[in-house]
Structure 1
């Protein structure tokens, strides 16, 4: 293994963490296998990756070229590694097999060409379609031959070879995509998520000497590399692929009157860039191999040479040392084969790998809607009708079966929900309109079990059905728009089916073909989600490892790297279940930032001491939202420049925003910092981020509304939103990042529940994977671990937005009481949540020492030392901080390990009002005994009625917090009887909740003269169970009275009409009014009786509970209250 000086390509002296990273990666590549490398953003991860990987590649190439032992790279008794010799042997065998197969196909083609392509198309009488072609009518079908399905089962290859004999090699896609020659050296495939990230990688390569000694080829889709304007304007990748392949085919040959093909003078013009001279194509290829070009540079060079850069990369691929590609090209076998990637013995580096599992899952999942199925069915039926006389018998048969499959799938979504629900498998999870079914059960249930799906998929691939049928559909639409008259006599609903935008053309067939292909997956690896409300069928992949296994098996080394891969067990379980984590090469790099510049701090409570219970059921309580607002207000006062807060969802942010606006907290936040909320639309995100950056860094002039008095900015973001990943909140853009709660996914989500059930099923089968067993960590099942790890993965992405380089500084604040359950008595992480944070952050966890019961040691600090302590923590000029209001000063320290002793002096003789206010501050701080002294002092200072009422009531609350039930009860009784405190206040106060359940309280209720007897109190408690019932009763009573009056009046008028009295109203109209009043009165009477009965029942229940609470129980000689 090389020492530090053996990485000479590193452009400057590496930090210790960078040196360790490169040495560990070099060792992993030398040994082979799987490596998981975690390096925080700002530590030069990409450059360290490149220098280590390319140094190893260069050493391996040099050793192989010299044909001598590689020292540290291989054992001394071997000339070259076994995997290299095996790779070379396999390439030789593959090339020989390809040459033999091609010769056989050529021989067969020469013998069968006449019979297969000549005589079969010589009918004795012309069909209507042929007549249109021969007549040369502009609205005929001269190009139908281009849309005719290739014959499956080997005939496709023969047709392709025959076409190749008629056209130049540049016209043929088969020639362009032939098997590449065997590699002479090891290849490295460097993958990242997007082309822009790969462009950054290429820029880093340009800083190293490897740009001269190694060759680099970027791979991209036609969307990124195509330079044909006519193809580019099609927009979607699928349409561009289809058009590109069409341009490479020879023009369809017309037939003469005998049915024989006419020999044309030249083939289709095709793509001018693909038909470029071999000299220009070779020049473009050589420039690509000699220089470091990204896809944008390559497209520009293609324009310059007027040669196709897409196929230039394909030709250069076998000769490249390093291939750069988005990892969407790596996730499926079909995409690897389409590009020509051979992973045997290669090294695969996946940067930004935290999204790799999602990419594999989305690539192999499939969803199709009812409209898309119906559109596909119509297109297939129209195609079959149009080409029935020209299709081979086997193609006709398979096409009919495919139409049947699509029809049966559409019928699934047309079934009533009740019928669908009654047929669910016993292991399936379901709701009223959404259900999950096992794959085999789905096939049996809907009559698809007797159809060979594998044969259907093979037929669609070999016949190129996707592009042929959709191309014919688009061609028919174009002809209908150009020549509507001839089509009016045909059946347009068959030839040109009406299809909406969602299911139009190629997209509908793509979705249908993808879903049918998913039905061939292993039954244990996925489920079928049937959503009758949305009208969709979805194949949900539960085991991405099954589709990623080929990559793992073929490569010499597979390295996943990212700034945040944690939690690693989740990644291992999803991609490498048969490789225990202990057998993987893992490396977690520390950060280059000094310890004094980062603070990781859990916040279990808010500024008033209220515990931050941010579970879904409690986070929307008004008191909890107020506490979060006060928390952010304090953070904004303590932290300069930018503060970024992440909430679990857009809905919760909207709820907080609305509540804070109503309470005035939003105005207070806006007065301190310019406030922003992440928009839902992608177009508005960039504008929001730009405005936030300007406000946080104060680089822009204040808007017309003014920023007077504001310092920095506050940005509310959504976990999993566009601002939670890939955005740089370094330096002043993110001096603090605040997690408001824990973003656990919805536990009722049907896909999540099925995934958890699947993982629990694996853990019940020990032979499947030893890593899937129930974790020793708090005895969680595999499904529960997965649920928790999904949450922590989202948290890690959010908090990784800050600390982007060595000189950066920030605080990471975790606002939720559940974080405190992960801290032991010494302030260190002890359980699952904190241990799943990035390992490089854990050393920065604040060491509080023993915390006070309600201590929150960051947000508030002693005003006298606030500026000095802020400077110690953040290494920032002290003048950037503002003093915190005195009412918030308690138990706070901004530096780790700083303990603040706020000694409470004895209450001095003061006015009753000031004593009550001081007591309230102490009460909010959790100092209940000290607060009692001030409340008692207030009662001795000659208080007014209002002051005495406040002192007594708050002393009752303090006694209740200390579990002193009798003094608390006496204080409430005195406040009610002597100072007109309303008893309802005490009944509804959360601070007295435990007091109201005690015997002392129940006994004292009858002695309180607050205008309520114990029966009245029971009535209030009963009404609290149904808060809107009393309003309904009053409403129903009023409406019933009105209906009764109307009934009496209409009865009198009806009697007059029936007896024929003079001036009597119309009988029919009067009878109708009488009926309406009668029905209304009966309905209102029923509703009123229902609510009165419920009210009486609840009141009796409350009275019985209170009576039982007063009973005494005798156990031996003891009497228990």
Structure 2
């Protein structure tokens, strides 16, 4: 079937198990998941999918199989549609002429496809040879590589011209700004629309786009033409996840399946090692994206540490130098692709040919001596799937800098681990500013102005003056607020954050008359923060030893912190709040004040993605409840545009037992861990007794999640107390330790790894080493929302039972939550109060569902889940559990008490054997 503009060739209905090119025999739930993803991609036009597939069901592999199957069909249809459109102007010609023209165009396109695939196949073969000799080649090239040290020189080594060239601000606003890297001739090449201005200029200078040349540059014209016809198509999948480690795992999955070719009809298959048995296959073209901080190979830049400092210094090295002494003219960064266009093309082909992760991309750039951050941009147009972490997708400025242009017809955005997407959006738009940082920023600016003030051009002098006024205005407000807080502070020296009117912050020193949009733009374009702080660091460097440089005050990016806060002030006032908090100072620190910006609604921040993409798919292991995503991320989408799916688990039903423990005895609802009742001595005693009995019948590992660290500490303290109720066997804590080895998660994330390792060892090695100490495994006391509740794998013996104690509702009286709920209620119309209540409950249940998901990680796994609170019997709360958990709840368990649970769990675990 021939496809037109936006129509995708449909999949054949036969051989359903193989039509998505899954490398294994998929489960029924995987087939359901892949069909849903494929259908969303086919419908396009702003379709949204909110999909839940439990951990252990092969979610990531199913996502990429369905999405890439669609992509190959869609591309094939687009190729044919483009050929047809090319001959439409000849419609008045005889049919045989039109047919001949179509045949000729098809042959030309096929030839270009063949040349591109042959080039990538050669790159794969070359890379395998290079990988085999990587260590020897690295040693050999290490001796030839130039030593790069572009760090601060001492004052004795510098001249006045040196200082001006490096630290003097450009004019900005028509006098320079950031245009040094962005200026350059335009070519009209449509491919340039993919890139940011500075990347565009760099590519033009390097001769890496058709129609441009550089002296001494190399490049195959046929290669350029091939990229024009094939490599530059805009059909792309953008896959994002929370961390680089999760993206690395996804790329490992990407290497498993094989997909049919998207080659135009009439093209001959290109024989490669990968497709030797089936030449109709075509390797996937993938490129990972990341920040300069992870990809910079220039040691003088990478050692700066912070993202902002690295970004600013990188941009500085690309700008035309103005030093009068030509002998001291800097050549900029020697790793830029413009320095070696042919090597940049080699980088592009190797990246597209080898499915690299971020570390592979860094090593490739290091080996070829070309910047992987910029060279990876040359691979974007030819890539089919692009992976990147959350912050690079969620910030529009970051997308533009990376050259990401979402296309309503051709761009599919997949957000994996999407259960925390709204928190991630709030995080990337958050900003904090302290009074001490403002004082430091004022001092740095004064030092800079004393040295360069008279040499600044008119626009720069005005903007620096405006920044100084903003600093003074904010400082006056914070100083006044701190004086009030100091005189009225309670004896506990605690402070509750208060909401601040943003207009009040700038009412001093005439700061409210300043255009913050223009000021922030100037600061960013002129690299003001980088230059001022670099100059301060340069002045201080001679007075410090090499070891002390990293601890200098200039290392704190106070001006960048200020810029981030001012940028937050330019957001819509209705969607954010500013909080003031007095920090009394302890541990020898001076009192301080802090302003914090909180984004209340992710709607506006996510709107450009929701509106510009062909389809957006939010996927996760525990996405329930779904309502918040629809309401706050896609409020303008009609119901027919949103598809939700909650897949079942791949385990058989008998491998899961979910019990609602509402009371210690049958028919008595005594377990209520609401804030008002959870500290009652009887409640703490009954909880200890329940866990003691549970540890008796559950083998191996038991993980218990508490609502907060504070409550966990309170419970442990009560269990360790010896009183008249203690038995001859000791207090509750001693009796628990007699049942299982007991471990407790602490607030410090640094200790979590050691606690997890000890817990795992007590279970897996206990039979041999710790048999006397822990004959029945181990007990881990953890916290919902803590490190153990997300991303940790308690598979098999490590998690035979997960217990959720209470419901971890956030403190609705805390200033941030109070502001969020008031905002939702005020924007929800007549149902505002109910909308706020739903949001509040959903936040709690998402955290619960994440904790529950730590157990049962594969098809042969089995576990029990105990929901320990009478509120779990509520249909309203149960409806927010994942479907596979709801399906495993034992009927009537909430009325059978502790004795009923022990009998059921004893039978559940009796006779079960661990998978081999």
TM-score exceeds 0.5: yes
Q: Partners in 2 of 1:845 and 1:677 — Cα distance?
A: 28
SS across alignment from 2:780: strand
In structure 2, the partner of 1:350 is 415
In structure 1, the partner of 2:652 is 594
Q: Partners in 2 of 1:362 and 1:265 — Cα distance?
A: 43
Selected match of 1:860 from 902, 909, 914? 902
TM-score by length of 1: 0.63
SS across alignment from 1:388: helix
1:362 aligns with 2:430: no
Following superposition, the deviation at residue 416 of structure 1 comes to: 4.0
SS across alignment from 1:739: strand
Contact 1:46 1:204 in 2 (8 A): yes
1:213 aligns with 2:257: no
In structure 2, the partner of 1:388 is 453
Following superposition, the deviation at residue 658 of structure 1 comes to: 1.7
Question: Residues 581 and 679 from structure 1, CA distance in 2 versus in 1: closer, same or farther, beyond 3 angstroms?
Answer: farther
Deviations 1:811-869 (A, max 9, x none): 1111112123x1xxxxxxxx2111001122211111128936xx3464433xxxx8xx7
SS across alignment from 2:842: helix
In structure 2, the partner of 1:233 is 303
Question: Residues 708 and 514 from structure 1, CA distance in 2 versus in 1: closer, same or farther, beyond 3 angstroms?
Answer: closer
Q: Partners in 1 of 2:52 and 2:891 — Cα distance?
A: 25
Question: Residues 805 and 155 from structure 1, CA distance in 2 versus in 1: closer, same or farther, beyond 3 angstroms?
Answer: same
In structure 2, the partner of 1:478 is 541
Deviations 1:353-385 (A, max 9, x none): 112111111111211111111111211222222
Question: Residues 265 and 432 from structure 1, CA distance in 2 versus in 1: closer, same or farther, beyond 3 angstroms?
Answer: closer
SS across alignment from 1:458: helix
1:287 aligns with 2:340: no
TM-score by length of 2: 0.77
Question: Residues 161 and 665 from structure 1, CA distance in 2 versus in 1: closer, same or farther, beyond 3 angstroms?
Answer: closer
Contact 2:472 2:509 in 1 (8 A): no
In structure 2, the partner of 1:402 is 467
Q: Partners in 2 of 1:39 and 1:203 — Cα distance?
A: 19
In structure 2, the partner of 1:960 is none
Contact 1:612 1:816 in 2 (8 A): yes
Following superposition, the deviation at residue 242 of structure 1 comes to: 3.1
Contact 1:502 1:508 in 2 (8 A): no
Q: Partners in 1 of 2:41 and 2:372 — Cα distance?
A: 32
Question: Residues 292 and 762 from structure 1, CA distance in 2 versus in 1: closer, same or farther, beyond 3 angstroms?
Answer: same
1:578 aligns with 2:646: no
1:815 aligns with 2:871: no
Q: Partners in 2 of 1:418 and 1:235 — Cα distance?
A: 35
In structure 2, the partner of 1:647 is 706
SS across alignment from 1:455: helix
Question: Residues 870 and 419 from structure 1, CA distance in 2 versus in 1: closer, same or farther, beyond 3 angstroms?
Answer: closer
In structure 1, the partner of 2:131 is none
- Higher mean alpha-carbon deviation, 49-58 vs 689-698, is at 689-698
Selected match of 1:626 from 685, 701, 708? 685
Q: Partners in 1 of 2:328 and 2:469 — Cα distance?
A: 43
Contact 1:597 1:873 in 2 (8 A): no
In structure 2, the partner of 1:658 is 717
Question: Residues 397 and 38 from structure 1, CA distance in 2 versus in 1: closer, same or farther, beyond 3 angstroms?
Answer: same
1:685 aligns with 2:752: yes
1:836 aligns with 2:862: no
In structure 1, the partner of 2:385 is 322
Following superposition, the deviation at residue 530 of structure 1 comes to: 1.1
Deviations 1:878-927 (A, max 9, x none): 9xxxxxxxxxxxxxxxxxxxxxxxxxxxxxxxxxxxxxxxxxxxxxxxxx
1:788 aligns with 2:841: yes
Q: Partners in 1 of 2:755 and 2:302 — Cα distance?
A: 31
Matches within 5 A, 1:1056-1067: none
In structure 2, the partner of 1:1052 is none
Following superposition, the deviation at residue 163 of structure 1 comes to: 9.1
Q: Partners in 2 of 1:796 and 1:386 — Cα distance?
A: 58
Question: Residues 27 and 438 from structure 1, CA distance in 2 versus in 1: closer, same or farther, beyond 3 angstroms?
Answer: farther
Selected match of 2:238 from 189, 205, 208? 189
Gaps of 5+ in 1: 71-132, 166-171, 255-261, 423-430, 484-497, 767-772, 775-779, 823-830, 879-1121
Selected match of 1:143 from 163, 182, 191? 163
Gaps of 5+ in 2: 1-9, 85-152, 186-197, 210-227, 260-273, 275-281, 488-493, 584-591, 723-730
Following superposition, the deviation at residue 700 of structure 1 comes to: 7.0
Matches within 5 A, 1:30-109: 30-32=42-44, 33-67=47-81
Matches within 5 A, 1:323-338: 323-338=386-401
1:870 aligns with 2:870: no
Selected match of 2:41 from 6, 29, 32? 29
Q: Partners in 1 of 2:878 and 2:640 — Cα distance?
A: 21
Which structure would you say has the larger Rg? Answer: 1
Contact 2:182 2:201 in 1 (8 A): no
Q: Partners in 2 of 1:535 and 1:39 — Cα distance?
A: 45
Q: Partners in 2 of 1:158 and 1:138 — Cα distance?
A: 25
Selected match of 2:341 from 251, 269, 278? 278
SS across alignment from 1:510: helix
SS across alignment from 1:653: helix
SS across alignment from 2:238: strand
Question: Residues 479 and 270 from structure 1, CA distance in 2 versus in 1: closer, same or farther, beyond 3 angstroms?
Answer: farther
In structure 2, the partner of 1:1097 is none
Q: Partners in 2 of 1:709 and 1:466 — Cα distance?
A: 57
Contact 1:610 1:627 in 2 (8 A): no
Q: Partners in 1 of 2:702 and 2:708 — Cα distance?
A: 18
Q: Partners in 2 of 1:443 and 1:633 — Cα distance?
A: 59
Following superposition, the deviation at residue 623 of structure 1 comes to: 1.5
Q: Partners in 2 of 1:856 and 1:482 — Cα distance?
A: 66
In structure 1, the partner of 2:615 is 557
1:671 aligns with 2:720: no
Selected match of 2:673 from 605, 614, 635? 614
Q: Partners in 1 of 2:442 and 2:858 — Cα distance?
A: 56
Q: Partners in 1 of 2:619 and 2:821 — Cα distance?
A: 26
Following superposition, the deviation at residue 662 of structure 1 comes to: 1.8
Q: Partners in 1 of 2:461 and 2:82 — Cα distance?
A: 60
1:18 aligns with 2:30: yes
Q: Partners in 2 of 1:637 and 1:445 — Cα distance?
A: 67
1:538 aligns with 2:596: yes
Following superposition, the deviation at residue 413 of structure 1 comes to: 1.4
- Higher mean alpha-carbon deviation, 596-605 vs 277-286, is at 277-286
In structure 1, the partner of 2:176 is 156
Q: Partners in 1 of 2:646 and 2:551 — Cα distance?
A: 48
Matches within 5 A, 1:124-143: 138=158, 140=160, 142-143=162-163
Selected match of 1:202 from 239, 251, 268? 251
Q: Partners in 2 of 1:265 and 1:465 — Cα distance?
A: 23
Question: Residues 290 and 714 from structure 1, CA distance in 2 versus in 1: closer, same or farther, beyond 3 angstroms?
Answer: same
In structure 1, the partner of 2:89 is none
Deviations 1:73-122 (A, max 9, x none): xxxxxxxxxxxxxxxxxxxxxxxxxxxxxxxxxxxxxxxxxxxxxxxxxx
Following superposition, the deviation at residue 554 of structure 1 comes to: 1.0
In structure 1, the partner of 2:191 is none
